[in-house]
Structure 1
């Protein structure tokens, strides 16, 4: 072997010094940085060398291959190389609550199309029907796991699910995602609680501060209802103060502690009763009864009765119609301004029609007297007739038997006729009593000029009447003294 060959072999056996690698990994293990220090200026560092080093250090995910190749080819060893990059987890989104009503508590007047402002419609009452959803949860949106540079899974943080703000008269739906109203009512809302109340309370007056009140349930107004405003309820309305020229409507009863001056434009409409101390210049409509101390210059209609009770118990001026009876101490004014009172109902009309088709009680009583006399006269002669028939030796026994039998049948028919007339009298008496239940009662004075109508009959009083009730028979309006049972 020549000397040159021997020297070349020895040089081949001497390994070239390796470059130095300095690896830094971020605290969350999502980023890996590499610095390379070559052994000499001409040393070549390859892509494979870098990747092999990273693999030895456990860096196997998110290798930045293109950056490493460029780093090696351009020999940018004086810079720090981002050699691996993990995928951050995507955290889940929190769930949310969607409310099916306005959560606004800043009640402001609505602007009309013409630019003016409606101070009466503030939408203060939030109504809800039984079984309807108050709010519903939108579930959290799932996230996505991440992976660090060591190829380890980094779990995402799940979103939080909100709690349903359940309160009084609410229930959670079967799927657990919705809050349901258990009753018809109005919604009381805070950020952490929803209550459904069957009674909406106005803690003061109904005026420009509250706006009109419209509730599916009952309403209690602790103050007054001012002119031009309205209160409407799906159940009862109770007003602790007074009412001025307002519109009050309830499916149930209406109670006004002090009373109402309708100012010619106020009205009350109730599916049940209307109760108040006094009503003046108002329109009242009740499917049930109307109770007051004074009704003055009103138009009132009651499906039941109009009852005036109290110190005055007076019905003065206006027009009043009831289905059953009108009862007061005083009716009318005695002036030129007439008070009109009327009793009208389908049942009354039916009784009047039936009564007009049948005989009068006087005629029936006369018929009963005659029938009784005939029966008594026949009974007194029956024994003698029977003895005469049997004593007649000329008459055949069979003939005697037939005559006696005929006399017995006649007696029975006469007795049936008496009983039939008694039955008719009983029915007629019941109808008369029923008719007298449809009445107008003035326990003190019913004044001259008062105009009455009961069913189809009309009467204008030409005198004052004291302690008198008026009702109809089959022919006209009649009157009689008031009895304790008339109240």
Structure 2
């Protein structure tokens, strides 16, 4: 700080200090001593001129300080008497992201205050059409002035400038996602990716995963966790007792070992090395290279096994075909193979049968009352009749593929139950290299050698 004292006699005087950046000035007011002249505004003005202070002068503070100094006859120190105007920084064109996109983790807290790690996630997901931030154009800077009236140049605002990348486009003043996907910040680049890569297992570190695009899991899916993808899934390690749902193709580099409760569903093709103790369903088709054991397999397409692929103690429903090397094994529970039937329509049929049985039980209970409500019973019986017609229609539509077949390149073991359409056959003795299909004219299942 610099200091200049004006008038060192017994008159009242003013001492001024200016900050190093010259943006503020402070004054100390000293009263007269002895027969000196009282402090007046002219002395303050003289001190201001001596210090080259001409801008941002606070006259009100000066007058109050002079009055206090003279009335109390004591010094009034460090009074702010001038203040410069700070420059306004220039703001470059930039994207102001919503705060939630800087929070990389979604933490779900239960009602009791504990964290639900399965539902928490380290990923930030966005929906198509969702705004991720606001776009601000260039804003010019404004020069400031110090207390001497000198210009203070403005600077550029120090800020992170994000560059919009994949699947992000401006819509007016908003930056909008053009796809469902994961929001990614990599340095100054932001994007929405339709491929989510998980470098580990799906477990308590990731929580359950639900993603609208393609999903690549470098690890496996641990017990009790759920994975869902709007497109394809590739899992490089084991799927355990978990749930995997996929609208596209599902590629399991290893396979499923579910201990009975694993549930795998895909609209596209399912490919795996093995499937054990789980349910796997596909609307397109299933390819398993080595083995299916103690599993429920359903597909609207074809189940294809590898050159030495075996099916043991499993229930298979494939609308178009089943092809394997061996079906069955000595001293193991037999498998049930059913082709030519839509598992979707069969499920509808079974559900309708259950609903019909429940309704019949309710009707019977109504009839057993001392005063049965005849009108209500009549309406329920009418509903029962409609259900019976729906069951009949579903049963007719169940057998959708007359060309369905089962092909066994190795051994079809005795005890295996074969169904083709509405027909059923139990294999009485081991068969080798056999083709099983329906003879529609004879209305029976026939077995013959593979040609």
Q: Same fold (TM over 0.5)?
A: yes
Task: Report what 1:126 is aligned to.
Answer: 124
Tell me whether 1:446 sits opposite 2:412 in the alignment.
yes
Query: What is the correspondence of 1:280-429 to structure 2 with a 5 Å cutoff?
Result: 280-292=276-288, 293-311=290-308, 313-333=309-329, 337-345=333-341
Q: 2:263 aligns with which of 256, 264, 267?
A: 267
Change (3 A) 1:162 1:286: same
Displacement after TM superposition at 1:269 (Å):
0.7
Task: Report what 2:238 is aligned to.
Answer: 242
Give the distance between the partners of 2:75 and 2:12, measured in 1 at CA.
12
Displacement after TM superposition at 1:87 (Å):
4.7
Deviations 1:431-460 (A, max 9, x none): xxx966322222333333332332233333
Give SS of 2:220's match.
coil
Change (3 A) 1:48 1:194: closer
Could you state the TM-score of these two structures normalised by the residue count of structure 1?
A: 0.62
Displacement after TM superposition at 1:301 (Å):
0.8
More helix by share: 1
Deviations 1:181-213 (A, max 9, x none): 454433444564445443333334334444433
Displacement after TM superposition at 1:128 (Å):
2.9
Aligned length: 377
Change (3 A) 1:21 1:99: closer
Give the distance between the partners of 1:62 and 1:116, measured in 2 at CA.
58
Task: Report what 1:218 is aligned to.
Answer: 214
Give SS of 1:205's match.
coil
Task: Report what 1:469 is aligned to.
Answer: 436
Give the distance between the partners of 2:221 and 2:79, measured in 1 at CA.
76
Q: 1:66 aligns with which of 63, 68, 71?
A: 63
Displacement after TM superposition at 1:302 (Å):
0.4
Task: Report what 1:391 is aligned to.
Answer: none
Give SS of 1:277's match.
strand
Give SS of 1:103's match.
coil
Task: Report what 2:168 is aligned to.
Answer: 171
Contact 2:435 2:449 in 1 (8 A): yes
Displacement after TM superposition at 1:476 (Å):
1.5
Displacement after TM superposition at 1:118 (Å):
4.3
5+ long unaligned stretches in structure 2: 1-10, 346-399
Task: Report what 1:98 is aligned to.
Answer: 98
Change (3 A) 1:146 1:326: same
Contact 1:171 1:181 in 2 (8 A): yes
Give the distance between the partners of 1:129 and 1:170, measured in 2 at CA.
11
Change (3 A) 1:86 1:102: closer
Displacement after TM superposition at 1:92 (Å):
6.1
Tell me whether 1:186 sits opposite 2:182 in the alignment.
yes
- From the CA coordinates, give the structure whose radius of gyration is larger: 1
Deviations 1:211-241 (A, max 9, x none): 4333322222333333323332222222223
More strand by share: 2
Give the distance between the partners of 1:336 and 1:53, measured in 2 at CA.
108
5+ long unaligned stretches in structure 1: 1-18, 350-433
Displacement after TM superposition at 1:305 (Å):
0.9
Give the distance between the partners of 1:449 and 1:273, measured in 2 at CA.
30
Displacement after TM superposition at 1:77 (Å):
9.5
Give the distance between the partners of 1:211 and 1:218, measured in 2 at CA.
17
Contact 1:100 1:133 in 2 (8 A): no
Aligned Cα RMSD in Å?
Answer: 4.5
Could you state the TM-score of these two structures normalised by the residue count of structure 2?
A: 0.66
